[in-house]
Amino acid sequence: MKQRHLGIAAIAATSVLLFSGCAAGGDGGDADTLKVAYQKFGQFTQMDAHMKKVKEEFEAANEGMTVELVPIEAQEADYFAKLALMNRSAATAPDVMYEDTFMVKTDVEAGYLAPLDDYIAEWEDWEQFPENARQAGAGDDGKIYGIPMGTDTRAIWYNQEILSAAGVEVPWAPETWDDILETAEAVKAYDPEIVPFNIYSGKGQSEGASMQGFQMLLSGTEDELFDTDEQKWILGSQGFEDSLGFIEDIYQGGLGPTPQQALDKNIGTTINSEWIPGGTLAMSLDGSWASGTWIETGSSPWPEWSEVLQVAAMPTQEGQEPGRTSMSGGWTLAMGAGSQNKDAAWDFISTALNQENSLSYDVAASQVAVRTDVAEDPEYTDANPTFGFFSELVSDTHFRPANSDYSKISAEITVAMESVMTGQQSPEEAAATYDQAVIGIVGEENTMAASN
């Protein structure tokens, strides 16, 4: 299987001021204060607890230093925009930031991140990170700009009680897309009040739709978005059209949320905090981290989750080898290029990602561990009954294209998805519109026809 390295995105902030007390200009803070920016939103609350713990440890070990935590309460796309806005001013730019792996190359190009090679050369813990994990934080220049906190894979979470009541044999292991649709139809026939299947779709879900929805489908076809050998975007693929066809089957076939529900930016939180625990959603294509919502320290504790829910791998379209597929991403901690105390910023990062803190975070956030000593620790392997399953999917996972135009292409994917899910275009029409949009973004010379 050809695996693709993590892609790049460029998120442009559209508002002038999104943070109270943030003014343009200035000298970029002082050497005795570290500004640490990270996402805190809905189901993703574990990062806030982790940063507070690391702040306490760091300040205790570094007398005279203060850590200023900047939790950004926003969905993914808005978080990227707000972080970009912070980085545009020396007065507000963070010393340490929570950085999506697919944003690393873009932010390196923008001059927001500092290379970490001199620090990791002296860091014994770096040996615990496998090569593919190391590359998650690499720039186009080969230097390392982010240290991975964990990775993830994606699969289908399903309520085995609902499926069993609908006449579906459990444990459930769909072998094709049609198996998913047939199961969704069985749930719909059993109880029309239950949403049979969720797959994130539409512009409001950003990468949740493009990567977690569409590319999970496309990776199970014979086609790809991008040819890594030719460094060209692929147009006119049957796999692209078929993936949109699956979206149409779910949303226009009454097998998923209503388009209005799906276009709500908060649907991810609603699904994992309300619908799944409440038994009103039977199946959801989602990430390995989802159970972090339901554990005792999660945002919506649900003690019965491991008894009610099971997980199944996302099948390939027709059951072709390897029979299953997944998409992976992950997050890093990165250092701001304008930090006035880079040594202290590194000390904070290395403290946050040492063995003890990585273990506690990966367990709390239901992350697939990247550190070898964490992945092999019984405290990690015994902490969650799904950790082993999601870790095994790494062998068949895929990554977003590592190309500077990816973010624009990704946005066009969500446009195509939304036009199909709302019935504005057929899959064929939406795919043709997408092809023209890609040509407009990268130029026809940087595209190639699919070998259907």
Question: Rounded distance, CA 269 to CA 177, Å?
Answer: 26
- SS3 category, 384: coil
Average pLDDT of the chain is 91
Give the residue from 154, 150, 156 showing the smallest Cα distance to 168.
156
Give the residue from 347, 197, 214 showing the smallest Cα distance to 275.
197
Task: Indicate whether 78 pLDDT > 50.
Answer: yes
Q: What average pLDDT does range 272-279 have in this prediction?
A: 97
Structure tokens at 202: 């539409």
Task: Indicate whether 11 pLDDT > 70.
Answer: no
Task: Indicate whether 9 pLDDT > 50.
Answer: no
pLDDT confidence of residue 286: 97
pLDDT confidence of residue 1: 35
Note the pLDDT tens digit of each residue in 347-379. Answer: 999 999 999 999 999 998 889 999 999 999 999
What percent of the chain clears pLDDT 70, i.e. is strictly above it? 93
Q: Where are the alpha helices (DSSP H) in 9-138?
A: 46-61, 76-87, 104-109, 117-120, 131-135
Task: Indicate whether 306 pLDDT > 70.
Answer: yes
pLDDT confidence of residue 5: 37
Task: Indicate whether 142 pLDDT > 60.
Answer: yes
ω into residue 322 within 30 of 0, thus cis? yes
pLDDT confidence of residue 4: 36
Quickly state the pLDDT bin for 42 (edges 50, 70, 90): low
In the beta sheet, which residues pair with residue 67? 34
Quickly state the pLDDT bin for 132 (edges 50, 70, 90): confident
Q: Is the pTM of this model over 0.75?
A: yes
What percent of the chain clears pLDDT 90, i.e. is strictly above it? 78
pLDDT confidence of residue 16: 34
pLDDT confidence of residue 43: 53
Note the pLDDT tens digit of each residue in 151-188. Answer: 899 999 999 999 999 999 999 999 999 999 999 999 99
Question: Rounded distance, CA 115 to CA 232, Å?
Answer: 28
φ/ψ region of 259 (left if φ > 0, alpha if ψ in -120 to 50, else beta) reads alpha
pLDDT confidence of residue 115: 98
Strands (E), 215-298: 226-227, 232-235, 281-287
Q: What average pLDDT does range 100-123 have in this prediction?
A: 93
Backbone angles phi, psi at 227, to 5 degrees: -90, 110
> Is the torsion defined by CA of 138, 381, 374, 59 positive or negative?
positive
Do residues 87 and 93 touch, judged by C-beta distance below 8 A? yes
Task: Indicate whether 233 pLDDT > 70.
Answer: yes
Task: Indicate whether 44 pLDDT > 70.
Answer: no
pLDDT confidence of residue 29: 60
Which helix or strand (DSSP H or E) is residue 346 part of? Answer: helix 342-352
Note the pLDDT tens digit of each residue in 398-425. Answer: 988 877 788 899 999 999 999 999 999 9
Note the pLDDT tens digit of each residue in 265-275. Answer: 889 999 999 99
User: β-strand 314-315 against 309-312: which pairing, if any?
Assistant: unpaired
Give the residue from 51, 189, 152 showing the smallest Cα distance to 366.
152
Task: Indicate whether 230 pLDDT > 50.
Answer: yes
Q: What structural domains does the chain harbor? A: 33-152+328-384 (3.40.190.10), 154-327 (3.40.190.10)
